[in-house]
Amino acid sequence: MNRRKFLQHATTATGGAAAAAYAAPALSQGKIEWRMVTAWPKGLPGLGTGAERLGQRITAMSGGRLTVKVFAAGELVPGLQTFEAVQGGTAEMGHDTPGFHLGKSRAFAYFFGAPFGMSYAEHVAWLDHGGGQALWDELSATFNLKSFAIGNIGTPPFGWFKKELKSAADLKGVKMRLPGLGAEMIRRLGAVPTLMAPGDVFPALQAGTLDATDFTGPANDMALGFHQVCKHYYWPGIHKPGAVQQVIINKAKYDALPADLKEIVKIACQAAHQDMLAEYNWINSQAVNVLKTKHKVNFHRLPEDLVVALGNAAGQILNEEREKLDPLGKKIFEAYFKARDAQMSLTDGGDRAFFNARTMKFKYVG
């Protein structure tokens, strides 16, 4: 995969001139044209390609009555300005992640993923059947938005590091790109977190502005070239398990759609969610082998004392976060962790027990 192909669409591009170059969406002969801005470099596997497929799916399912044109980061607005673009009407849709928007409301963290929180399957169960989506709708509406989950990266790595982590002490002073509540978690251990658009990360690693970074997983990370600078790759991503990606839609525009087009958008987003996870599971499995054999990347488990330290920091942060939240935020917080606790016994007895059993040595015919 060509890193330059992705970085030429990096999010450092300014959006003003680009925005002016595109006409406003039109409603002609019963056809509606929407623009979707994304936080991702053009063609980035999983995220970038997922956004493209979602736009194509909505257009096809509606028979062209609702046409969605997709803009990569920097083509219409910078990658970290999707929220403002959709809220203000520069675009009708945005494709990014709730973890980018904690500055708007800390409660968005629980629709992205909390440290040591819910897995992918648990998170989706809560959103679709445990009341999570209704709470997300309530929070999003305060910003004139409608939000849908449109993908998941599964359980990601913790991140890429230039130097090996042998203990919790080695995290001190490390400058690391990290979104969501995980940023504050590593700060408590002496690291220096920052939020940075994906297209800006590789140059920052090269320049020494960053010593480490997380992102989504092996395929995207390899496409963006992180392995060229960092040779130590750590698992598991306890800072954002089951990290949800989202589409945000201008609520006034969404509410104005006829009922059948609303349903098409909803179902297209559900399909996109499953599609993205499946794509990541496949391309990441292929990329792991390439990174190990061709690029000589060292794969590590996080040191046990570091996991314990991160867990203790996460517990402190989450207790503090709860007290900072407004009534709606506290309601979301309580619902998220109640859902996590309710599903843990099933996950422990089901998926985790199976995965542990699968690592046992058996004789089989291959």
Length of the chain counted residue by residue? 366
Listed in order, the ranges of the chain carrying CATH 3.40.190.10 are 159-240+298-358
CA distances from 220 to 74, 141, 215, 238, 274 (A): 18, 32, 8, 19, 18
In the chain, what's the furthest Cα-to-Cα distance?
65
Mean pLDDT of 235-249: 94
Half-sphere exposure of 122 (CA within 13 A, CB side): 29
pLDDT of residue 365: 58
At the topology level, CATH places domain 3-104+143-152+245-283 in D-Maltodextrin-Binding Protein; domain 2 (3.40.190)
pLDDT of residue 51: 96
Mean pLDDT of 237-252: 94
Amino acid occupying residue 358: R
Mean pLDDT of 290-316: 97
d(CA 109, CA 96): 13
Q: Is the dihedral of CA 129, 242, 45, 148 positive or negative?
A: positive
pLDDT of residue 366: 55
Q: Is the dihedral of CA 18, 19, 20, 25 positive or negative?
A: positive
Listed in order, the ranges of the chain carrying CATH 3.40.190.170 are 3-104+143-152+245-283
**pLDDT band at 359, cuts 50/70/90?**
confident
Q: How many CB atoms lie within 10 A of CB 365?
A: 3
Q: Say which CATH class 159-240+298-358 falls into.
A: alpha beta
d(CA 80, CA 95): 10
**Tens of pLDDT, residues 139-159:** 999 999 999 999 998 889 999
Mean pLDDT of 210-228: 96
**Tens of pLDDT, residues 170-181:** 999 999 999 889
pLDDT of residue 6: 46
How would DSSP label each residue in 70-138? EE-TTTSS-GGGHHHHHHHTS-SEEEE-GGG-TTT-GGGGGGT--TT---HHHHHHHHHHSSHHHHHHH
Q: Is the dihedral of CA 181, 184, 188, 191 positive or negative?
A: positive
Mean pLDDT of 21-50: 79
Q: How many CB atoms lie within 10 A of CB 121?
A: 17
Helix or strand run (H / E) with residue 331 = helix 327-347
Contact 36, 77 (CB under 8 A): no
Mean pLDDT of 194-200: 91
pLDDT value at 5 more than 50: no
Mean pLDDT of 296-312: 97
**pLDDT band at 360, cuts 50/70/90?**
confident
How would DSSP label each residue in 220-283? HHHHTTGGGT--EEEE--TTSTTPEEEEEEEHHHHHTS-HHHHHHHHHHHHHHHHHHHHHHHHH
